[in-house]
């Protein structure tokens, strides 16, 4: 089972663009007049949560995952504070896991928090955003990451998603995150994992492995392997 996923970004942060992050129209902001003060337009700047899941793994451990989408054409977010709230079967919150990510315009990505430990049985999770820092993007550069991966079940019952990431960009990249998602016959997520690599220069191929040391109970019919990099950090 193999797949090639090409991720191409033709967008880059324009540091000279008005930010409109102070809640006032005082920096010659354009195209975001919502009929009042220069607040971020809810209709224009809003992230979508496409799905969320909690996956029991080993004893008292869970993998948390959410799939999010940024439908905006011009605006990305260089910082997103998020939170997974975990609930028991009675609907009572028993724990929370917070984190930070980023997203480009028109991008769909997975947010993963692996190996969350809870002594109490977790019945469901709720994913939400706590704060989003919006940045305007322009077509002034390109970042292209090419992923080639293959999934294998090993003799001891463990499994691995292994492959390469090629930096086809015009830039050297400081950090690349690789996410692997295993899917059943109905495209339901049954396992997730992630890894990262640092200082990947342009035109470089770098190998990666995402390892599951326990058997995946459900049959894996397909997988989704994606590579992300924070273009807001290029040049800094």
Domains and CATH numbers, the chain: 2-6+140-233 (2.60.40.3230), 45-137 (2.60.40.3230)
Q: How far apart are CA 227 and CA 210, in angstroms?
A: 13
Mean pLDDT of the chain: 84
More confident: 219 or 14: 219
The fraction of the chain above a pLDDT of 70, given in percent, is: 79
User: 104-145, pLDDT tens digit by residue?
Assistant: 989 999 999 999 999 999 999 999 999 999 998 765 467 899
Residue 15: pLDDT band (50, 70, 90) is very low
Indicate the pLDDT class of residue 18, thresholds 50, 70 and 90: very low
How high is the pLDDT of residue 41? 55
Q: What is the pLDDT of residue 31?
A: 42
Contact 213, 158 (CB under 8 A): yes
Residue 28 burial (C-beta neighbours within 10 Å; 0-12, 13-18, 19+): exposed
**How high is the pLDDT of residue 179?**
98
C-alpha pair distances (Å), 154 with each of 114, 146, 151, 160, 224: 21, 25, 10, 8, 19
- Work out the average pLDDT over 90-112: 95
- What pLDDT is attached to residue 164? 98
Most confident of 12-21, 44-53, 176-185: 176-185
Q: Does position 22 have pLDDT exceeding 50, yes or no?
A: no
User: What confidence tier does 235 reach under pLDDT thresholds 50, 70, 90?
Assistant: low
Q: How far apart are CA 174 and CA 231, in angstroms?
A: 10
């Amino acid at each position: 089972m193999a797949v090639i996923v090409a991720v191409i970004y033709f967008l880059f942060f324009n540091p000279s663009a008005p930010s409109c992050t102070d809640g006032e129209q005082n920096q010659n902001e354009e195209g975001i007049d919502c009929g009042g003060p220069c607040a971020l337009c809810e209709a224009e700047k809003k992230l979508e949560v496409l799905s969320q899941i909690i996956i029991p793994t080993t004893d008292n451990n869970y993998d948390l995952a959410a799939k999010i989408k940024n439908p905006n054409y011009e605006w990305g977010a260089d910082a997103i504070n998020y939170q997974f709230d975990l609930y028991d079967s009675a609907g009572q919150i028993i724990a929370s896991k917070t984190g930070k990510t980023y997203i480009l315009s028109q991008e769909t990505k997975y947010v993963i928090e692996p190996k969350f430990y809870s002594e109490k049985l977790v019945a469901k999770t709720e994913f939400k955003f706590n704060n989003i820092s919006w940045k305007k993007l322009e077509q002034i550069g390109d970042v292209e990451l090419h992923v080639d991966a293959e999934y294998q079940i090993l003799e001891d019952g463990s499994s691995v998603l292994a492959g390469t990431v090629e930096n086809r960009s015009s830039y050297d990249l400081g950090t690349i995150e690789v996410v692997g998602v295993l899917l059943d016959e109905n495209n339901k997520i049954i396992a997730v994992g992630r890894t990262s690599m640092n200082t990947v220069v342009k035109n470089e191929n770098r190998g990666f492995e995402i390892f599951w040391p326990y058997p995946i109970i459900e049959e894996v019919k397909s997988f989704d392997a994606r590579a992300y990099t924070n273009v807001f950090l290029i040049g800094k």
